[in-house]
A and B are shown apart, each in its own frame.
Chain A
Amino acid sequence: MTTPPSVKPVSLWDPVVRLTHWSIAVIVLMNALLTEGGGQIHVWVGWIGMAILVLRLLWGLIGPAEARFSAFPPNPRAAISHLATLVAGRPRDYPSHNPAGALMAYALWATLAALMMTGLVMTGGATPMQIDDQRAAVALGDWSVLVKESDDEDSHKPGPWKKTAKEVHEVAGNLILFLVALHIAGVVLESRAMRRNLVKPMLLGAAKSKVRK
């Protein structure tokens, strides 16, 4: 690792990190609270979310240093000791996410991935366009598009896979809201302890202040 001796915290996350962060936040809130589960919009939004997750994970491999996974490896022990310093007083700075924040990022990504995989199983992997096409055809009275599905063993009764996927999808849907709440609480607590606004670097950064001294 090439961490400099005096660690400077991120003063402004790069645009890809910021964009994926806030768009995934909007998408989680939309699909958890606003859209009808299993509905057309829900599936569309889910697929867009999948693309955002793909971009963020790609960025974790080829992005700038502080956005890469190598800058914040999952380390539960470091996360716990970081939380201990948080309780005790002023925690130290990290060049990327702090260890607790890093664990949160991985937990959120894993939950998102679980939501998307199970969502795909539930819809049979059909893209929103295919689902729309099918619906349009059925609306015109052409039921034959559904025949192929009837050949599958699981068209009338949801098979065990789909059932399990549905349950996991629901649990993960609640889990992600819980994680989001925990994430926000963590940012608030951390900002207080560090006496530094941690939201700013994720938004527009400290535009007027000097970028790194």
Chain B
Amino acid sequence: MTETDPSRRRRTIALSIFLLVQVVAVVFFVGDVVGDLRENPGSTHFIFEALVTAALAVGVFLGARALNETLAVMRAQETALAAASGALSQVIADQFYDWGLTPAERDVGMLALKGLDVAEISDLRGAAPGTVRAQLTRIYAKAGVSGRAQFAAFFVEDLLGAALPEMRPG
């Protein structure tokens, strides 16, 4: 559910590899600059190389900062997604309560929303298929919907509309 987009994850890995290559370059250049510094520090060659190396080092630093920010954004999105799915199940629970579903009906209704069919629900609950079918009928009646499709659509509509409550953190 809360998994990050794989392409983004791949991009951060590619960025990390790029960062590592840059750092390797910086370290080699710094070694070279130090070597030049000991030989002829006044030469234009040295000055230019030192400037390039300094720029590269700053680039690495900024690149690392940017990568860290990307990782933080990805993490925040994961949390937001978790909060949203948490909020949706809260909406469903509240609605079930409003309809006056019994605890058993709430369980069956939740399983039905998750896409399980009558046989699977009866297996899971150790109940006869007839019982589950009867419970589903009562749920649909209390909810005022025609059947399973409309029952599920009821919550999708909630999700699409503005009925989502404020996102709860965590």
Contact = CB atoms under 8 A, between A and B. Distances in A.
Q: Identify whether the interface residues of A are mostly helix, strand, loop, or mixed.
A: helix
Contacts of A130: 32, 35
B54 interface: no
B61 interface: yes
19 contacts: A15-B15, A16-B19, A16-B20, A16-B67, A47-B27, A48-B24, A54-B27, A55-B23, A58-B60, A62-B61, A62-B68, A63-B68, A64-B72, A127-B28, A207-B3, A211-B3, A212-B79, A212-B82, A213-B82
B4 A211 contact: yes
Interface size class of A (residues with CB under 8 A): 20 to 34
A210 interface: yes
A210 B23 contact: no
Given A15-B16, A15-B71, 4 more contacts: A14-B12, A19-B13, A51-B28, A52-B24
Interface string A200-213: 00000001001111
Interface centre among B12, B23, B34 (most CB of A within 10 A): B23
Contacts of B19: 16, 55
A54 B12 CA distance: 19
A69 interface: no
A37 interface: no
Contact of A19 (B17, B64, B78): B17
B137 to A, nearest CB: 34
A50 B71 contact: no
A59 B23 CA distance: 12
Interface size class of B (residues with CB under 8 A): 20 to 34
Contacts of A125: 31, 34-35
B34 A62 contact: no
A128 B27 CA distance: 11
B23 A14 contact: no
Interface string A62-89: 1110000000000000000000000000
- Closest 8 interchain pairs by CB? A127-B31, A15-B16, A51-B27, A51-B24, A55-B23, A15-B13, A51-B23, A16-B16
Nearest to B29: A127
B35 A210 contact: no
A129 interface: yes
Nearest to A210: B2
B108 interface: no
B95 to A, nearest CB: 24
Contacts of A50: 27
A126 interface: yes
A85 B14 CA distance: 39
A189 B87 CA distance: 40
B5 to A, nearest CB: 12
A125 B13 CA distance: 32
